[in-house]
Every structure is written in C-alpha cells, then in structure tokens.
Structure 1
Amino acid sequence: MKTLIINAQPDFLNDTHFSVRLQQLFLKQFSERFPNEAPAILNLYDHEIPRIETEQLLAVWNKQQAGDELTVDEAKIAETSNQLLSQFKAHHRIVIVSPLHNFNVTSRMKDYIDNILIARETFKYTETGSVGLMTDDYKVLLLQASGSIYTNQDRYTPLEFSRFYLEKMFVEMMGFDSFDIVRAEGTNVLSADAVWQSVPQQMKLAFSQFYGE
C-alpha cells in the first residue's frame, strides 16, 4: 500500500516532540505489517513549498490562465507545485504528522494544501456544488500532538480547528473515504507517561482501520 507521510512539524528532527514520537510509532507498526515496503516521507519544513503570494502561486496561476509565458523562477514554482500534487495523488494512504499551532495546522501545512487542493485535479466544481475526485480508496490519518486536551467536551473542544479543517478538506472536498486521528494531547499539562498512556492502543486501532485489517 503506497503511503505518504507528510510531516508538518517545524522541528521535525527533534525526537523529543510528541508528534515526532507518533511518527516513530506509526513507522514501527508499518515495518511490522509491511516488512518489504517503506512509506515516502515529506518533511514540509525541509522543502520550499510554494505559497499563495503575488510573486509565487498567484503569478503562476494568473499567467497560466492568460496563456502567458512564465519566468524561470515562476516555472520552477510551477514545477514544484506539480510535483507535490503528483506525489500526493500517487499515494492512497496519507499520514499527516503535526503539532497543534494556535488551534490549527502549521503554516507550512496550509501552504501544502494550497498546492494539492486544485480544481479538476483533486476536486471539481459542478452546478450543485463541488465534488471530490479522490474517491479510489484514499484514506488520511492525522497524528497530532497538542499542549492542551481537546477531547473533554469543554471550551477547548470546539477550538480544535486543525482536525475539523483537515477532515473537511480531505473528506468533503477531495472525497477521501475516511479520516482518523491519533492524539498525544495535554503535553503542557500532563506528565509524559500520562500523555502517552493511551497512544499505543489508539495507534493500533487506527492502523487497522487505515489499512483495512
């Protein structure tokens, strides 16, 4: 099963982060389940991800729509964006590794989504609304670490915009079959052991669903 891990942790080389530990746990289970395979790993903060700015994606899209020739720099931006999109579409299992930043996804993750949420590629517009095109057994799993706890049905629960945003974009907009989440939460209020206590079981259940076991 072709799997793409999208690591949106800015400090992705620091294995003290719970989000990085979540990725390591996933990789351990993956190697046990698929000993002859290896997932592709894209560390977003180790790459230049094109952004929606006047001198980047906006310039590229406007010129492409007008049929104008791109500059050398714009052509490189277009090529990078196309490569990200092609890589994304080629993997039917998407794993997002991320901390929760101010209740939402990291800035580089948002930039990445701007390169893959493309009309006529991953969704299309119709007279009755948009329709997802990623409907051929695509699934997404979010591995998220957060300083607070968002599952207590209190004031923090509706502020977990990251989960809601990603689920809506992947399932409702792009047509993914499923969205699941494994949380390491309360990293700023609980001990490390308490944070990790439920994680292995969460991962085991999510992994089984992710690969249809």
Structure 2
Amino acid sequence: MQTLIINAQPDLSSADHFSTKLQELFLAKFTAQFPDDKPTILNLYDTQIPRIEAGQLLDVWNQADLATDTAALAQVSAELLAQFKAHHRIVIVSPLHNFNVTSRMKDYLDNILIARETFKYTAVGSVGLMTDDYKVLLLQASGSIYTNNDRYTSLDISRFYLQKMFEEIMGFDQFYIARAQGTATLAANQVLAAAAAELDQAFAQFYV
C-alpha cells in the first residue's frame, strides 16, 4: 500500500519531540507489517512549499503567462499534488501549534485542495474526488489533553479542521487519529504508552 508520511514538525534536528516519537512508533509498525515496503516521507520544513501570497500561488492561480520563477513554483505545486494523489494512505505527523495545524501544514494543504483535482464544485455543494480507498491517519502531539470533555475539547481545532478537509471536502474514506497528549503535564512514558495503544487500534483499521 503506497503510504505518504507528511511530517509537519518544524524541528527536524531533534528526536525528543513527541510527534517525532509518534512517527517512530508508526514506522516500527509499518516495517513489521510490510518488511519489503518503504513509505514516502515528506518533511514539510525541509521542502519548498508554495504559499498563498503575491509572487507565489496567487500568481500561479491568476496568471495565464507565468514568469520563470512563478512557473517553477507552479511545477513544485503540481508535483506536490501528484505525489499526494499517488498515495492511498496519508499519515500526518504534527505537533499542535496554538490549537491548530502548523503554518507549513496549512501551506501544504493549499497546494492539494485544488478544485477538479481533489474535489469539485457542484450546484448543491462541493464533492470530494479522493474516493478510491483513500485513508488518512493523524499522529498529533499536544501539551494539553483534548479528550476529557472539558474546556480543551472544544478547542480541538486541528483534528476537526483536518478531518473535515479530508473526509468532507476531498472524500477520503476514513480519518483516524492517534495522540500523544498531555506532554506538558504527564510523564513521558505515560504519554507514549497511551499513544502506542491508540496507534495499535488505528493502524489495524488503517490498512484493512
């Protein structure tokens, strides 16, 4: 199964981040189940990701005749989209930044949420085009806990946003999440044990 790991952790130099540890847990399970396969890993903070601003995606979307620099950005964006569509299993590895996805993750989404490519507009609303057994798994690390039905539960914006974009807009079959949460208050071994248990459950369904 073609798997794309989208790593949205800005600090690639440190193995201490809980999102990085989540990716390691996933890779260990992947290797055990698919010893002859390797996932594609896209490190967003080590990759050129075009942004919605003048001279970048705004010019790509609005100009028929592109300048050399803008044409190169258009090619980068097209390659990101092609890579995304070629993988039927998408794994997003991310810390929580101010209750939401990282800035580079949002930039990446702006390159794949493309009308007539991953969704289309109709008279009754948008329809997803990624319906051929596509699934996404979010591996999310957070300092707080978002599953205790308290004030933080309604602030689970990252998970809500990604789930809606993948399932409702692009038409993915399933959205799964495994969390390393409470990293600011709980012992590391407690956080990772709970995360591993969630990942075990999600992984079993992710590759069905």
TM-score range, shorter chain: over 0.9
Select which of 190, 195, 199 maps to 1:203.
199
The letter for the 2-side match of 1:7 is N
Superposition map of 1:143-158 within 5 A: 143-158=139-154
Superposition map of 1:73-84 within 5 A: 73-84=69-80
C-alpha distance in 1 between matches for 2:97 and 2:115: 28
Shift of 1:153: 0.4
The letter for the 2-side match of 1:184 is A
Shift of 1:13: 3.0
C-alpha distance in 1 between matches for 2:163 and 2:42: 20
Count residues with an aligned counterpart. Answer: 208
SS in 2 for 1:54: coil
Q: Give the match for residue 184 of structure 2.
A: 188
Q: Does 1:62 align with 2:62?
A: yes
SS in 1 for 2:130: coil
% identity of equivalent residues: 68
Shift of 1:12: 2.3
Superposition map of 1:33-182 within 5 A: 33-63=33-63, 68-182=64-178
Unaligned runs of 5+ in 1: none
Unaligned runs of 5+ in 2: none
SS in 2 for 1:37: coil
Moved over 3 A (4+): none
SS in 2 for 1:140: strand
C-alpha distance in 1 between matches for 2:65 and 2:6: 32
Shift of 1:54: 1.3
The letter for the 1-side match of 2:85 is K
C-alpha distance in 2 between matches for 1:57 and 1:167: 24
The letter for the 1-side match of 2:30 is F
Deviations 1:57-85 (A, max 9, x none): 0011100xxxx311110011000000000
C-alpha distance in 1 between matches for 2:159 and 2:168: 13
> TM-score, normalised to structure 2's length?
0.99
Shift of 1:169: 0.1
C-alpha distance in 1 between matches for 2:55 and 2:43: 24
SS in 1 for 2:175: strand
